[in-house]
């Protein structure tokens, strides 16, 4: 007589957590050097081929041509493996309503099972990794340019959330400035950002510049953090003093400016798409020879930019950076016992009920 089959044990039920923006902010606030280290490690893994960062997917709207939502899938190997997806929207019209242009969530997936681990509010993670990436590039590129002093005059074109985070991360990782120059098409926004910088107590003189040309010519570190969709800075002569340029918003510079500079990117394939300034330059000349290398090349010493040309760093913003930083936030919340788990998020866990 056959023995009755034992009921198989119930499979372990994966947990799912939600991490709100306030908690993300508490974990990251004041940790600029630590965050920059996480970003640097992610760039090194990416340069070594230990990540997957496929093309981003753009959801566009015929009735709202200035708006978009972007999906950035990615995977990070190494000692802290994680997969996931960043889902970030850009609605420039939000600014007129008094709320930030961008909003985002980040989904982390368990590397072994594929089950989602958590959903994190990600506008802060996105801003922090963007700022940390730019601050890392500024630090490494300025050190690699022989015969050039570390910049002491910084200029911000565009004065939104990203500009604020960039200033925080520059100052938080050891930068000191004799002057902070500001330019924005909105005088109100320029005044608000200037008041913010003065309020930090970290700057020298803070000045509002009436034109982009005036700001660029007067600064040796220039930060583009605008919402420009097409190039509006077209004269290479504005850069004759060979500044270091953090072209975070990617679409401000004409092909002529790009072609007159040393160009460093975070990822060649990602940066030369979607009509970025570099993509327009490629379309104009028919090749990519004007791209001198990647930030990973700078980190490893394979690229040392010349001092007698402007240096433009154009970061597309890789999903692997969001994943690495998001996993750090998740692990920190878990270790502290403050991870807010959603009970019974996964319900149907038996194959046959």
Task: Read off the pLDDT of residues 21-72 as tens digits, 9 standing for 90 and up.
Answer: 999 999 999 999 999 999 999 999 999 999 999 999 999 999 999 899 999 9
162-179 residue pLDDT tens: 999 999 999 999 999 999
The residues that bridge with 153 in the sheet, in sequence order, are 179
DSSP state of 303: -
Tell me the CATH architecture of domain 133-314: 3-Layer(aba) Sandwich (3.40)
Instruction: Reply yes or no on whether the pLDDT at 7 is more than 70.
Output: no
The CATH code belonging to domain 17-125+319-335 is 3.30.1780.10
Instruction: Reply yes or no on whether the pLDDT at 347 is more than 90.
Output: no
Distances (CA, A) of 233 to 127, 213, 278, 314: 24, 8, 13, 15
Start and end residues for every CATH 3.40.50.720 domain found in the chain: 133-314
Start and end residues for every CATH 3.30.1780.10 domain found in the chain: 17-125+319-335
Q: What is the mean pLDDT of residues 235-244?
A: 98
Q: What is the mean pLDDT of residues 306-316?
A: 96
3-state secondary structure at position 260: coil
Q: What is the pLDDT of residue 332?
A: 97
Q: Distance (Å, rounded) from C-alpha 253 to C-alpha 238? A: 11
Of residues 337, 342, 329, the one with CA closest to residue 84: 329
- Rounded to 5 degrees, what are φ and ψ at 249? -85, -5
Confidence of residue 98 (pLDDT cuts 50, 70, 90): confident
Choice between 150 and 80, residue whose per-residue pLDDT is larger? 150
Maximum alpha-carbon separation in the chain: 93
Instruction: Reply yes or no on whether the pLDDT at 348 is more than 90.
Output: no
- Rounded to 5 degrees, what are φ and ψ at 46? -65, -45
Strand 82-90 relative to strand 68-76, pairing:
antiparallel
Q: Distance (Å, rounded) from C-alpha 180 to C-alpha 155? A: 6
Confidence of residue 235 (pLDDT cuts 50, 70, 90): very high
Q: What is the mean pLDDT of residues 131-148?
A: 96
What percent of the chain lies above the pLDDT cut of 90?
Answer: 84
Supply the pTM of this predicted model.
Answer: 0.92
State both tokens at 189: 């926004």
Contacts of 125 by beta carbon, 8 Å cutoff, 6+ apart: 24, 28, 104, 106, 322, 325, 326, 329
Confidence of residue 1 (pLDDT cuts 50, 70, 90): low
């Amino acid at each position: 007589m056959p023995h009755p089959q034992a009921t198989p044990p119930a499979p372990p039920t994966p947990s799912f957590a939600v991490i709100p923006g306030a908690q993300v902010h508490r974990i990251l606030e004041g940790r600029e050097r630590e965050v920059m280290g996480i970003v640097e490690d992610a760039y090194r893994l990416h340069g070594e081929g230990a990540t997957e960062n496929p093309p981003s997917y753009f959801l566009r709207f015929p009735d709202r041509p200035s708006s978009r939502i972007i999906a950035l899938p990615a995977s990070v190997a190494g000692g802290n493996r994680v997969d996931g997806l960043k889902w970030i929207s850009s609605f420039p019209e939000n600014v007129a309503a008094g709320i930030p242009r961008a909003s985002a969530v980040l989904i982390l997936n368990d590397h072994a099972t594929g089950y989602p681990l958590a959903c994190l509010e990600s506008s802060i993670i996105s801003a922090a990794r963007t700022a940390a990436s730019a601050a890392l590039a500024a630090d490494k590129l300025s050190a690699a340019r022989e015969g050039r002093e570390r910049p002491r005059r910084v200029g911000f074109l565009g004065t939104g959330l990203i500009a604020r985070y960039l200033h925080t991360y520059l100052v938080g990782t050891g930068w000191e400035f004799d002057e902070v120059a500001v330019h924005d098409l909105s005088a109100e926004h320029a005044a608000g950002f200037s008041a913010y910088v003065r309020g930090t107590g970290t700057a020298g003189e803070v000045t509002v510049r009436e034109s982009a040309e005036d700001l660029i010519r007067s600064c040796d570190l220039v930060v583009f953090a605008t919402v420009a969709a097409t190039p509006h800075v077209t004269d290479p002569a504005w850069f004759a003093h060979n500044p270091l340029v953090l072209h975070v918003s990617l679409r401000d510079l004409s092909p002529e400016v790009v072609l007159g500079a040393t160009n460093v990117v975070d990822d060649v394939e990602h940066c030369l798409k979607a009509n970025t300034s570099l993509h327009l330059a490629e379309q104009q000349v028919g090749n990519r020879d004007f791209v001198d290398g990647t930030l990973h090349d700078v980190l490893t010493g394979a690229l040392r930019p010349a001092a007698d040309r402007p240096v433009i760093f154009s970061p597309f913003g890789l999903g692997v950076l969001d994943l690495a930083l998001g996993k750090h936030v998740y692990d920190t919340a878990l270790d502290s016992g403050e991870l807010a788990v959603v009970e019974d998020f996964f319900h149907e866990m038996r194959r046959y009920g």
